[in-house]
Amino acid sequence: MKVIEAADYEDLSRQTAEIVIAQLRAKPSSLLVFPTGRTPLGLFKALVDAERAGRVDFSAAVFLTLDEYASIAADDRRRLLLWLKLELLGPLRIPDSAVHAFDPLAEPHAEADRIEALIAERGGIDLAIVGLGPNGHIGMNEPGSAFDSRTRRVDLTPATIRSNAAYWGTEADVPRAGLTLGLGTLGEAGKLVLITGGAEKAGILAKALNDPISEDLPATALRLHSNGIVVADRAAMGQATRLPN
């Protein structure tokens, strides 16, 4: 695993955008996975700016959502796909035909099988970018998720429900379950990139980088990935000891 320390949030966003741009230059038809949440917003803006400047071409790329709330309507305002469309896919003018997303109302086992089959048909995920949850989750792989877990329905932990309430209003507004790519699924991606920024993530990032690799801390799975990259700004790196690249 490689650790890239960015000077600040803007630099974190720019350096992560360069990883995406390099990926698309190497393979224009890449299967890409992006997270939602606050952290990737600067990355999305950097990618839209790069596309407008003609530095990157998304026309052959295929997108797959990392996770989604379960049991909500397709047009529910909390749908993570809508967040991604608003912040990234819309501004990039990506057609729906190039976007694969979880159906929140589908039968979860069949839906998970459909997504896994789709990944296999395309020869695997080329690049997956994930955020870091306050409890160390990646996607909706909460603490205790097996490192070989596949795409599936999961119950959200109280910590995630609390932190996600910031997006939607109150804890009562946060759905209790979700659908997520599994840690094993993400582990097979050609490149797995974790992005995190801000002093509030420093404690959990230090654990992710330094604590024993354990399913109790899903983000430690990055350290098992031969092409795992952590991009963190200086504020988040505060308490972390840099491991050798």
Only one of the segments 21-29, 37-45, 99-107, 206-214 lies at the binding site for ligand PGA (rule: CB under 6 A); that segment is: 37-45
Site for ligand PGA contains 228 (CB under 6 A): no
| Sign of the CA dihedral with 233 first, then 234, 235, and 240 last | positive
Indicate if 225 belongs to the active site: no
Q: Is 131 a binder of ligand PGA (CB under 6 A)?
A: yes
Task: Tell me the site size for ligand PGA, rule CB under 6 A.
Answer: 8
Q: Where are the beta strands (DSSP E) in the chain?
A: 2-6, 31-34, 62-65, 67-69, 99-100, 127-130, 152-155, 177-180, 191-196, 228-233
Could you say which of 13, 15, 39, 65 contacts ligand PGA (CB under 6 A)?
39
> What is the Cβ-side half-sphere exposure of residue 211, based on CA atoms within 13 angstroms?
16
67 catalytic, yes or no?
yes
What minimum distance in Å lies between the beta carbon of 107 and ligand PGA? 26
Q: From residue 80, how far is each of 15, 23, 140, 153, 200 by CA, in Å?
A: 24, 24, 12, 15, 23
Binding test (CB under 6 A) with ligand PGA, winner from 42, 108, 133, 175: 133
Distance CA 222, CA 204 (A): 14
> In this complex, which beta carbon is closest to ligand PGA, that of residue 98 or of residue 159?
159
User: Where on the chain is the footprint of ligand PGA (CB under 6 A)?
Assistant: 37-39, 131-133, 137, 163
What residues are labeled active site? Answer: 67, 135, 137, 142
